[in-house]
Amino acid sequence: MKNRKSVTVIGSGIIGLTSAIALQEAGFEVRILTKELFNKSLSHKVGAVWFPYSIEPKEKTARWAAISYERYKRESAFADGVSMISFLNAYTNLHEEKWVNQLPPGTVREASLTELPTGMEKGLIADVPLTEPPLYLPYLVQKFLESGGKIELRTFSSVTELAELNTWVVNCTGLGAKAICQDEDLHPMRGQILRAEKLEISSFADPTRKGALSYLINRSEDSVIGGTDYDDDWNELEDPEDTLRILDRLKNFGVHQKPRILETIVGLRPKRSAVRFEFDPDHPSIFHNYGHGGAGYTVAWGCATELAESLLLANEKKNQSG
């Protein structure tokens, strides 16, 4: 490596941007190489409320989520697109809701029967961060650039190409890592959402039924209604039948206000049996940080913080070994 304090981050979604900024804050010189700019990424399409959905392993992701929670809470005082909201989440077994134990005391409470939407049996209400991608991602990009970062468009087809960059490399390519790393464990989980004029209904989610994920997220200027969670589905086109299903499920929750749909959005979440968060066994200069499923925003800052600590330690060992 020419410069042992130099890092190249591959990817400009929420994982790539937070990783790059955390590395800058740790004293590294960072550049981002990306196939497409942030506004074309999956991260720009999602609802992005804080909740560790469809991500493993729970022990690690709960810790990452807690770190992210505190970062977003601080940022809500000054960062564009970050706020704290009350969010109702359905559950079936409280013992499986490990995220509850990672939040500050008094943050989570059981929903009363009168607070539950029609058909929801049990729910938890928590004060959680909401990040609005169209506002927050540009904020992160500006922060990164103002700290001396550089962003360039570039594509990669293999891990070998990443290893040839002659810097530390952080692989944040999301679903793109399937081809780059030949990762058979990584697969898409298709999500379709509706962006609508803002509804006067409290934000909630019901992730308890696989294949019938339902949620409503109220943002500053609009509402996001979801959704779908289809594994191994590569279709990035709108499915009108899914739109009807999403609206029917919303109606079944007792929401009688008819949404005025502004846009239908489809994205492919990068799902894996466990987040890949490790140095590459064959290329020790490469650190993989991908496979965050439906919880990229929820764990991004936790992963980024731990990543920066790992690279600082690795960099120190490298310097000591000459």
| CATH number of the CATH domain containing 21 | 3.40.50.720
Place of tokens 């298709």: 190
In a domain, 98, yes or no: yes
Q: Report the half-sphere exposure of 52 (CA within 13 A, side-chain side).
A: 29
The alpha carbon of 218 is separated from its chain's Cα centroid by a whole number of angstroms, namely: 18
Has residue 3 got a pLDDT over 60? no
The predicted model gives 218-241 an average pLDDT of: 95
The predicted model gives 11-37 an average pLDDT of: 97
What is the phi/psi pair of residue 132, to 5°?
-105, 105
Residues 6+ away with beta carbon under 8 Å from 160: 283
pLDDT reported for residue 322: 58
**pLDDT tens, residue by residue, 164-175:** 998 999 999 999
| DSSP-derived pairing of the beta strands 29-34 and 150-153 | parallel
In a domain, 31, yes or no: yes
What is the phi/psi pair of residue 187, to 5°?
-150, 160
Select from 215, 216, 222, 226 the least CA-distant residue to 193: 226
In a domain, 293, yes or no: yes
Q: Where are the beta strands (DSSP E) in the chain?
A: 6-10, 29-34, 82-90, 108-110, 123-131, 150-153, 168-171, 187-197, 204-206, 214-218, 222-226, 230-231, 261-271, 276-279, 286-290
Long-range contacts formed by 258-261: CB under 8 A, 24+ apart: 259/194, 259/196, 259/197, 259/199, 259/223, 259/225, 260/196, 260/197, 261/194, 261/195, 261/196
Has residue 39 got a pLDDT over 50? yes
Q: 238: pLDDT confidence band, cut at 50, 70 and 90?
A: very high
Mean pLDDT value across the chain: 94
In a domain, 34, yes or no: yes
Place of tokens 């992701």: 61
In a domain, 1, yes or no: no
pLDDT reported for residue 2: 45
* Three-state secondary structure call for residue 45: coil
**pLDDT tens, residue by residue, 114-161:** 999 998 999 999 999 999 999 999 999 999 999 999 999 999 999 999
The predicted model gives 49-69 an average pLDDT of: 90
Least confident piece of the model among 19-23, 64-68, 314-318: 314-318
User: Which residues, listed in sequence order, are joined to residue 196 by a DSSP beta bridge?
Assistant: 223, 261
Has residue 4 got a pLDDT over 80? no
In a domain, 76, yes or no: yes
In 107-224, alpha helices (H)? 133-146, 159-163, 177-180
Has residue 89 got a pLDDT over 50? yes
Has residue 102 got a pLDDT over 90? no
In a domain, 49, yes or no: yes
Query: Taking the CA atoms of the chain, what radius of gyration do you get in angstroms?
Result: 20
Residues 6+ away with beta carbon under 8 Å from 153: 33, 34, 35, 36, 37
Give the C-alpha separation, 213 to 20, whole Å: 32
pLDDT reported for residue 105: 87
In a domain, 65, yes or no: yes
Has residue 306 got a pLDDT over 90? yes
Give the domain range for residue 171: 6-320
Number of domains into which the chain is organized: 1
